[in-house]
Amino acid sequence: MASDAPAAEQQQRYSHRTLVFTYGTLKRGFSNHPLVQELVQSGDASFVGAAVTASRLPLVCGPYRVPFLLNLPGEGDRVAGELYAVTPRGLARLDDLEGVSRAHYERLPIAVDLAEGARVDGAFAYYAHRDYAAELWRRSGEKGYPEYSHAVADGYIRRKDRPQGQTFLEQIRIFVST
């Protein structure tokens, strides 16, 4: 029973928070991490640890080198990222950034393994929306990345620097059709 104590303590510590696995621009050192830093400073998020997906999932880049995790279990690689515990207020901010209400991404369950070896089954990640995920996988040549590194992100264009006049969904549709 003593071996269950750390897991039970961790569960209690994050009982009113949602565990969110970040794999792309929300990670430390990437363009959207300042939002996570702001959430940490306000008490709406805390870093849990480095993590990797428990199963293989495709991580691909879409238009403007935007990273997308695809809900196609068994394809791709185990993807490296970071796990955060987020309050409901923080989660609303992340949902807004990720365009959940606009069908850019969808927040779905994911199992991850923390660097120290603990399995976390109750986490969530932002996956490419199901309406275009398979098309992104085909467009990538059914090849993904085990990590969104700075080399993979090379050429990333921030939202404010992208062409205006088209929605992100329109940009995705153009990308997958070329």
98 is catalytic: yes
Rounded Cα–Cα distance for residues 51 and 33 (Å): 16
Inter-CA distances, 46 with 15, 42, 172, Å: 13, 10, 32
Which residues, 6 or more positions from 114, have their beta carbon under 8 angstroms from its beta carbon? 48, 49, 50, 51, 83, 120
Q: Helix crossing, 88-97 with 33-41: angle to 10°?
A: 160
Q: Which of 142, 175, 160 is nearest to 63 (CA)?
A: 175
Given the residues 38, 75, 82, 98, the one annotated as active site: 98
Alpha-carbon 149 to chain mean position: 13
21 neighbors 79 (Cβ within 8 angstroms) = no
Instruction: Give me the active site residues, please.
Output: 98
